[in-house]
Amino acid sequence: MVLKSKRIRSAGFVEKLSFLFKCPVCASKMKVVEPASLKCEKGHSFDFAKQGYINLLPRPVKTKYGKELFEARRKLMADDRFFEPVIREIAKSALQLPAEPLYILDTGCGEGTHLNGICQMVEDRGKNTVCVGIDLAKEGILVAAGTYEGKIWCVADLADTPFMDETFNVILNILSPSNYAEFSRLLKPGGRLIKVVPKSGYLQELRTAFYADSEKETYSNEETVERFQEKFRLTDRKSIQYTKKLDRSSLEVLVAMTPLAWNADERKVAAFLQKTPKAITVDLEILIGEK
């Protein structure tokens, strides 16, 4: 028996779900055509990549995130379970919705570990899901598609997504930029936007080590919460705070994936990595909104 390539398998998987898509060029309906492309009624065509994802950007975009960074994120999130309590809380909120299956879109999904974890928890509770992850960074989607099967992974812009109106019950937006007009267009009636934003204590050990006494040492999410409330009815907000002990290799990963550390003084970074393990604070807020 000849095994089907990942490209062909992904195209086969998306075929039944092609009603979700709209052409990124002309906004018309799309369908999967042989051997492995998504094509619109007017003939604009997008090929599945050999890793199984699909690039639906009308023109390439260069982002500042590389593949190593997403591999590092995957290690910290999947192996060290750095965000486990956050993922659990999000899955709990998604499970309150009656829809079956639950159509979930993660906007700015990075390397896909959160979406995978959330979908797994929802499915473990007996609810079927259709999970779609999008990110502008091809390198993140590459890692996602290479690691997590049974989901749709697309390179796409969350401000102008290649999906039809009212297609998702849940939109996730975890530590990523938002576009509320687009999220509102995509949400089904009764659907939920679940946005995760940092609070003042988030990664405070990094802030203190690299930016003591400078304005970067503090952070407030007030403005973000205000903007959310201008566009969505805030139905719930949950603060989550905990510390997680990380060993040296995990701390190196954390430093590599945190923009906060990229511009820090090298000597301060080296000093920070000297004394391990270290307890690192996760301080986040989950905002839940409806249209």
Which residues in this chain contact Zn ion in the complex, by CB under 5 A? 23, 25-26, 40, 42, 44
Nearer to ligand SAM (CB atom), residue 9 or residue 185: 185
| Binding partner of residue 44 among ligand SAM, Zn ion, none, CB cut-off 5 to 8 Å per kind | Zn ion
**Residue 175 site contact among ligand SAM, Zn ion, none (CB < 5 to 8 Å, cut-off depends on kind):** ligand SAM
Strand pairing category for 152-155 and 168-174: unpaired
- H helices within 96-175, ranges in order? 113-124, 138-147
Angle at 83 between CA 77 and CA 84, to 5 degrees: 100
Reduced to 3 states (helix: H, G, I; strand: E, B; else coil), residue 33 is strand
Q: Which does 23 bind (CB under 5 to 8 A by kind): ligand SAM, Zn ion, none?
A: Zn ion
Which residues from 143-162 bind ligand SAM, rule CB under 6 A? 157-159
Q: Can you tell me which of 24, 52, 108, 133 binds ligand SAM, judged by CB under 6 A? A: 108
The Cα-based distances of 35 to 25, 51, 93, 125, 274 in angstroms read 21, 15, 39, 36, 53
- For 174, other C-beta atoms within 10 Å of its C-beta total 22
Q: Which stretch binds ligand SAM (CB under 6 A): 46-54, 146-154, 171-179, 184-192?
A: 171-179
State the minimum distance, in angstroms, from the CB of residue 8 to ligand SAM.
27
- 162 or 289, CB closer to ligand SAM? 162
Applying CB under 6 A, the span of 43-51, 132-140, 142-150, 266-274 interacting with ligand SAM comes to 132-140
In angstroms, rounded to a whole number, what is the distance separating the alpha carbons of residues 38 and 30? 6
Among positions 117, 133, 140, 289, the unique one binding ligand SAM when judged by CB under 6 A: 140
φ, ψ for residue 22 (rounded to 5)? -130, 150
The residue (of 5 and 147) whose beta carbon lies closer to ligand SAM is 147
Q: Count of residues for the chain?
A: 291
Distance CA 38, CA 153 (A): 13
Residue 162 interacting entry, from Zn ion, ligand SAM, none, C-beta within 5 to 8 Å by type: none
- Answer yes or no whether residue 72 interacts with ligand SAM by CB under 6 A: no
- Looking at residue 240, the DSSP 8-state letter turns out to be E
